[in-house]
Amino acid sequence: MKPKILVTREVFDETLARLSEHFEVESNQGDTPFTADELVARLADKQYVLSSSSDRFDAALLDRCPNLKAVCNIAVGYNNIDLPACTARGVMATNTPGVLTETTADFAWALLLAAARRLPDADTWLRAGNWKRVRLKDFLGIDVHHATLGIVGMGRIGQAVARRARGFDMRVLYTNRNRLPSDIERECNATYVSRTELLQNADFVSLHLPYSPENHHVIGAQQLAQMKRGAVLINVARGGVVDDAALVAALQSGHLAAAGLDVFENEPRLNPGFLGLRNVVLAPHIGSSSSATRLNMTLLATRNAVAALTGTPPNLLNPDVLKQQKGA
C-alpha cells in the first residue's frame, strides 16, 4: 500500500502524475484554502504533505497530526513552518530554493522599472481616455541607468538582481549578514557596505532577505528616513520585512519617490493606504510566477517528498531531525 500525501493547493497535472507514482494522493485542485481545523482533518491519515506558504505548520497543528513525517513547502521561504517544532516531533521540512532565482530576479527588475518610470500610473491614465497630446512634463520618471542600486540580502536572488544591473551601468552596493567572497563580488560588480551607508546612498533599494523575528520591520520608519529623498524601494522578499504603515507614510510625504511591492504584511490583506497612492506598484506575490518556474517548484517539492520516503530530501531545512529520528 502506498503512503498517503496531501497537496494543499492547486498544482499542475504533471505534479500529480509524478506524485501518484509513489503516493496515494489527495489533491485540492479546487484551490480552496484550508483552515487549521480543515488541514488537520485532511492530514489525519496522511504521512506527507505538499504545502503552500499560506499553510501554517506550528506546534499546535503538528501535535494534532501525529502521523506526519514530512512537510514539503512549495516555496523558497519557510516562515510558515516552525522548524524547531518539526524537529522535536521527527517531521522533516523542505523548501524549493534555486529553481525560482532567475524568475524572481526578473520580476524585481520589472517592479523597479515600472516604479521608476511610473508605468502603471501612465497605463491607467491612458486607458481612461486622457491622452490627447504629448506634453513635455507628462509622467516624469527616474533614470535607472548609471544610478546606484542597493541590495539588502545578497543570497541567490540578490546576486541575480545585481548581475542584471550591469546592463544599466549601475553602481551596486550590498549589505548582507556575511560579506561575500571576492570572486562573487567581482561577478556581481558589487561593493559591501553597512546598511546605513547603503540606505543613505542608493537611488534604488531592493530587498532580498528572508523573514524572521530578527528581520521583522528591518525597514521601518527610521530606515526609511535614512534613505535618499526621491529614492525607490523594491520588496520581493517577504511581508513583515518592511513596516508597511511607515512605508505608506514615506510615500505619502514624498520622501520616497516610489515603491514596487510583491509582498505585504498580513497578506493577502494589505494596508489600505497603498490603494490610494499613485506612486506604488502593487503585485499579489507573483515574483516566481512563470509557467516553467512554478512547475519546477512543484516538481522539486515532489522530489523532496519522494526522497523523504527512504532517505534524506535534497532540500532538508532541519537536518537535526535525522538525529531525532534515529533516537526515536
Same domain, 77 and 153: no
Same domain for 118 and 74, yes or no, is: no
Pairwise CA distance, residues 250 & 244, whole Å: 10
pLDDT exceeds cutoff 70 at 287: yes
What is the Cα–Cα distance from 84 to 213, expressed in whole angstroms?
Answer: 14
- The answer, yes or no, to whether residue 3 has pLDDT greater than 90, is yes
- In this structure, the answer to whether residues 125 and 270 fall within a common structural domain is yes
Long-range contacts of residues 154-158, Cβ cutoff 8 Å, at least 24 apart: 154/180, 154/188, 154/190, 154/208, 155/208, 155/209, 156/97, 156/98, 156/101, 157/100, 157/101, 157/104, 157/105, 157/108, 157/208, 157/236, 158/206, 158/208
Checking if the pLDDT of 22 tops 70, the result is yes
Give tens-digit pLDDT for 299-309. Answer: 999 999 999 99
d(CA 137, CA 304): 54
My answer on whether 107 and 90 are in the same domain is no
d(CA 171, CA 234): 17
Average pLDDT of the chain to the nearest whole number: 96
Q: Is the pLDDT of residue 114 over 60?
A: yes
Phi, psi of 265 (to 5 degrees): -65, 140
Region for residue 43 given its phi and psi (left: phi exceeds 0; alpha: psi -120 to 50; beta: otherwise): alpha
Does 327 have pLDDT greater than 80?
no
Q: What is the pLDDT of residue 169?
A: 98
Residue 41 CA: distances (Å) to CA of 36, 45, 52, 69, 104? 9, 8, 17, 16, 34
Site of grid cell 548581475 = 163
Instruction: Please tell me whether residue 126 adopts helix, strand or coil conformation.
Output: helix
Section 159-176 average pLDDT: 98
Residues taking part in catalysis: 238, 267, 285
pLDDT for 61 beyond 70: yes
Same domain, 81 and 129: no
What is the predicted pLDDT for the residue at 323? Answer: 81
Asked whether residue 214 falls in the same domain as residue 156, the answer is yes
Say if residue 214 is in the same domain as residue 255.
yes
Q: For the whole model, what pTM was predicted?
A: 0.92
Q: What is the structure's pLDDT at 326?
A: 60
pLDDT, average across residues 219-227 = 98
The span from the CA of 108 to the CA of 283, in Å, is 11
Grid coordinates of 112: 523597479
DSSP symbol at 328: -
pLDDT surpasses 60 at 328 = no
274 and 132 share one domain: yes
- pLDDT for 57 equals 98
Cell 546598511 identifies what position? Answer: 195
Are 127 and 207 part of one and the same domain? yes
How many structural domains comprise the chain? 2
pLDDT band at 166 (very low <50, low <70, confident <90, very high): very high
Query: Does the pLDDT of residue 147 top 80, yes or no?
Result: yes
Domain containing 122: what range? 101-282
**pLDDT, mean of residues 60-75:** 97
For residue 86, give the CATH number of its domain.
3.40.50.720
Q: Work out the percent of the chain whose per-residue pLDDT is above 70.
A: 98
Same domain, 92 and 112: no
